[in-house]
Amino acid sequence: MAELQFREAIRAAIDEEMAQDEDIFVMGEEVAEYDGAYKVTEGLLDKYGSKRMIDTPISELGFAGIGVGAAMNGLRPIVEFMTFNFAVLAADQIINHASKVKYMTGGQVNVPIVFRGPNASAGQLSATHSVSYDAMYAHFPGLKVIYTSEPADAKGLLKSAIRDDNPVLFMESEQMYGLKGEVPEEDDFTIPIGKAKVKREGGDVTVVAHGKMYHVATQAAQKLAKDGGVEVEIIDPRTVKPLDIETIVKSIKKTNRCVIVDEAHPFGGLAAEVGYLIQREAFDYLDAPVQRVTLPDTNAPFAKNLFDEWLPSPDQVIDAINTVTYRK
């Protein structure tokens, strides 16, 4: 397998898909001449030219709308947001148009578009640049939402997203663009949308975590295995919507305990939805109430000591695991 950075895996997915389909183009702020704010699209302008690598003004609503119109007319745009925190300005095009066109035309018009970019916090960037939006977009019918944690998942799922005939929001993390991981070198490597993965096997407790929180959960699991003899099974949903609840329930039937780790606020987030689905599908298998580790119901602080308290940590995950295993 090749070892790629997260940004290189995303670039490889875009490159491979653009090479085989001339209807695919990339649009966003600094994606062409500057190679992308995080160098995800480095070198693609030289390879595909300015008609397929398009720099836009700082106008998220405007270029998101152009992308939706292009998709309605048969093209396959990839719209990059410098961060999904800025995509709030484009939410009307995503929520009110891209998600509803197929429904309102009785299935006659597809909108094959990918909106991609960093999601959630990136360190001390304060309240307006630190929001996790995956659960918000997953609320709306007609949208698919992906938030991956490792380079191989990013490549395989982004290729599937680009080929999908529905609008897909593909979320990343500024803090993971340099993260390296093994990526299969097989021709046309893809991962189906809506399929979770058991990334660590264990028999004592199931932990559900995606995006950056997968790595927080992994740190907690490694520490518990070393110090406490608790074996944690980690499920990475990879796709927020459609959610693979079957894989989660199968794990809970084995461990009888579950902790959900989510980099979002507690009310109405992914952790709340997964918690409900578990009690509906696996209530009789639970030996303890489901616990969740989330952000507090407070906006992101700037001061480092406060930010470190705000963001979910491995110690918080361990505390939740100790609760469901009655070790505290």
Whether 129 sits among the annotated catalytic residues: the reply is yes
Whether residue 29 contacts residue 37, with contact meaning beta carbons closer than 8 Å, is answered with yes
Rounded CA separation 267/313 (Å):
19
Own/partner contacts of 313-317, CB < 8 Å, gap of 24 or more, are 313/216, 314/216, 314/217, 314/219, 314/220, 314/223, 315/220, 317/207, 317/216, 317/217, 317/220, 317/259, 317/261, 317/293
What sign does the dihedral 36-41-46-48 (CA atoms) show?
Answer: negative
Q: Which candidate in 129, 215, 231, 281 is catalytic?
A: 129
* 297 CB neighbour count, 10 Å cutoff: 8
Counting runs of H as helices and runs of E as strands, what totals does the chain give?
12, 14
Distances 166 to 34, 61, 63, 113 between C-alpha atoms, Å:
29, 19, 18, 7
Question: Which among 200, 271, 208 is positioned nearest to 236, based on CA atoms?
Answer: 208
150 is catalytic: no
What is the crossing angle of helices 270-282 and 245-255, to 10°? 60
Tell me which of 60, 80, 174, 233 is the catalytic residue.
60
Catalytic residue ranges: 60, 129
